[in-house]
Amino acid sequence: MHDNTAHNIYAQNNVGIESPAKLIEMLYEGVLRFNAQAKKSIKDIDIEKRVYWINRSTAIITELISILDHSQSGDISEYLEGLYNYEIQLLTDANNENCIIKLDEVSNVFKALLEAWRETTNVVN
């Protein structure tokens, strides 16, 4: 059921999904893309856009939490849920404090997650 929710988000944007693994990759890339826009907005002192882009990143991370399969992955799912929730808190703080450092911290985590995801899915495929 949760996979359908994530799929529908991208289907609305006319993006074809090759596989669930590709969907996760696209979600990680989305967080990075939206964080870059939020960072630009902070530098441009554009509060409206900063809030918009941080909210988009938060929405993706919330979706990532909702599609975790605790029955299959056990400890990994629990770890990721805690990590994702922490990243949401950092985004909230970055938004409230107009803080590029916290935004960069979230981006660095998602860069590492994306790299690890690509490595593991390439091995599996």
Q: Name residues whose C-beta falls within 8 Å of residue 112's C-beta, 6 or more positions apart in sequence.
A: none
Q: What is the pLDDT of residue 96?
A: 96
In the chain, domain spans:
2-124
User: Above 90 in pLDDT, residue 19?
Assistant: no
Classified by CATH at the fold level, domain 2-124 comes out as Four Helix Bundle (Hemerythrin (Met), subunit A) (1.20.120)
Q: Which residue from 35, 28, 116 is spatially nearest to 67, judged by alpha carbons?
A: 28
Q: Is the dihedral of CA 9, 53, 55, 65 positive or negative?
A: positive
Q: What is the pLDDT of residue 1?
A: 44
What is the pTM for the complete model shown?
A: 0.82
Buried b (16+ CB within 10 A) or exposed e, 95-109: beeeeeebbebbbeb
For residue range 34-93, list pLDDT tens digits in order.
999 999 999 999 999 999 999 999 999 999 999 998 887 668 999 999 999 999 999 999
User: Above 60 in pLDDT, residue 17?
Assistant: no
| CB atoms near residue 83 (< 10 Å) | 15
